[in-house]
Amino acid sequence: MSTPPPFGHLFAGIAVADLAAEVEWFSRLFGRSPDILPNADEAMWTATGSGSVYLVRRPDRAGNAHLTLAVDDADRWVSELAARGIEPVRIETVPAGRKLVLADPEGNEIGLAEIRDG
């Protein structure tokens, strides 16, 4: 019998310097404005049923994040993101499938991984 996960929700934080520019870029990525603006230094999007991505103004730590989200159809995402003005920096073939690698304006890497079954 497996042990249930110890936590109920994941908040993946990305430190940024220019919050306004990053909110604009991530709004295009998610296809919507932030779900929550808790204060003047943070913005958050719900990414899954139990996971959120949030930006936090922390200029001293900006530009070094790496985040990967699982997607069902990489080709569809390439098309949708192109329509929103976002192009992958590269597309990688990995053992489990393919990964679109995006870069936000500050150089944070956002991966969209299409995982093959089996």
Note whether residue 5 is domain-resident: no
Section 7-34 average pLDDT = 97
Domain holding 98, by residue range, is 10-115
Instruction: Give the pLDDT of residue 97.
Output: 87
pLDDT above 90 covers what percent of the chain? Answer: 87
| C-alpha span between 14 and 66 (Å, rounded) | 8
Q: What's the mean per-residue pLDDT of the chain?
A: 94
CATH of the domain at 98: 3.10.180.10
- How many domains in the chain? 1
23-67 pLDDT, tens per residue? Answer: 999 999 999 999 999 999 999 999 999 999 999 999 999 999 999
Note whether residue 1 is domain-resident: no
Identify whether the C-beta of residue 97 lies closer than 8 Å to the C-beta of residue 116: yes
| C-alpha span between 99 and 102 (Å, rounded) | 10
With a CB cutoff of 8 Å and minimum separation 6, the contacts of 99 are 68, 74, 91, 92, 111, 112, 113, 114
Note whether residue 67 is domain-resident: yes
Section 20-25 average pLDDT = 98
Which tokens belong to 34?
Answer: 């932030």
Note whether residue 3 is domain-resident: no
| Confidence tier at 116 by pLDDT (50, 70, 90) | confident
Note whether residue 2 is domain-resident: no
| C-alpha span between 39 and 56 (Å, rounded) | 10
Note whether residue 23 is domain-resident: yes
Note whether residue 45 is domain-resident: yes
Judged against a pLDDT cut of 70, whether residue 1 lies above it is answered with no
